[in-house]
Amino acid sequence: MRILKNELPNLGDKLPKENPCQHLELVEVELITLLDTLSRNGTMTVELLNIDCMEYMKGLDDNAFDLAIVDPPYGIKINMNQGRRKGDEIKHARKAWDNDAPKEDYWAELCRVSLERIVWGANNFSWIPPHNGWVVWNKDITGNVGFSKAELAYCSSINAVDMVKIRAQSGKETYSSKIHPTQKPKALYNWLLAKYAKPDQRILDTHLGSGSSAIAAHYFGCDFVGCELDEDYYKAAKHRFDTETAQKALF
Ligand SMILES: C[S@@+](CC[C@H](N)C(=O)[O-])C[C@H]1O[C@@H](n2cnc3c(N)ncnc32)[C@H](O)[C@@H]1O
């Protein structure tokens, strides 16, 4: 059972009503992680940078990060307004960032600076080595849509296929509220961090986009650096991060 920091005030509601004692051991383990996270609160840092990730990585030592969770351009000239429904105002201006995927030199740098890697869209990249470790994100979409109902991530630390079902657009994360055309849900990053990272680790996202990963990292309690090249996206992500983390800090 996992309890997120912002769920602490409602801890009682999270405990199962029937036989809560059965879960005490698990709750204890989670609470220790949680207390560890809380005690690091003053020391962990989330850095958002308006920079080309290749420039940023050039200055890093080998293995500077424990884990890179990245979502580079897939090079498929994505429809910047996918998920838009009838009546929704067109939100996202056409930009060229998805015209080309990164090349092998990106992969070489990423491997140099990180110990483990989770790479979204890896099925689009010829430089990903043959490997059995994949994460499938089932977007929980029914009916006919003009885009993928699932996405794949290469995951260096496993040797099997893992899977998670998280609704792509739910609650406040709908087309109208998205600040980025390929914005992934925070819940997806919450899940990835809980499963594949530890709160005392350093995490890198080379292609920050909307900042969903940064918000998840903030609540997870790890050190995090996110790079975003596009100034508009960077400013929007920074504003979203500042707003969302300030609101939750009131609890
Ligand atoms: C697929 S999107 C990331 C979406 C992100 N995962 C989210 O949830 O919002 C890729 C992003 O990488 C940015 N980008 C492209 N080339 C870059 C580079 N060399 N360095 C940093 N960011 C880059 C693009 O502007 C775009 O915002």
Q: Which residue positions in the chain have pLDDT lower than 70?
A: 1-42, 170-173, 247-251
pTM: 0.83
Residue 230: count of CB within 10 angstroms of its CB: 17
pLDDT of res. 98 = 86
Burial 18-28 (b: 16+ CB within 10 A, else e): eeeeeeeeebe
Strand order in the sheet with 65-70: 46-49, 223-227, 202-205, 65-70, 114-120, 150-155, 134-138, 161-165
pLDDT reported for residue 21: 53
Task: Give me the pLDDT at residue 251, please.
Answer: 46
Q: What tokens were used for 75?
A: 């090079």
**230 within ligand 1 shell (Cβ under 6 A):** yes
pLDDT at 44: 86
pLDDT of residue 29: 45
CA distance 230 to 53: 11
How remote is the CA of residue 36 from the centroid of ligand 1, in Å?
31
Which residues are 225's β-sheet partners?
47, 204
- Residue 188's closest CA among 228, 151, 236? 151
- With beta carbons less than 8 A apart as the criterion, state whether 71 and 206 touch: no
Centroid of ligand 1 to alpha carbon of 131 (angstroms): 24
> What's the pLDDT at 94?
85
Residue nearest atom 4 of ligand 1, based on CA coordinates: 209
User: What are the residue boundaries of the structural domains of the chain, listed by start?
Assistant: 1-39, 46-127+167-249
CATH of domain 46-127+167-249: 3.40.50.150
Rounded distance from Cα 30 to ligand 1 centre (Å): 33
How far apart are alpha carbons 102 and 121 in whole angstroms?
A: 11
Cβ atoms 103, 127 nearer than 8 A: yes
Q: What is the pLDDT of residues 68-112, one digit of tens each?
A: 999 999 988 888 777 777 778 887 888 888 889 999 999 999 999
How far, in Å, from the CA of 71 to the mean position of ligand 1?
Answer: 7
Q: What pLDDT is recorded for position 16?
A: 62
Confidence (pLDDT) at 26: 46
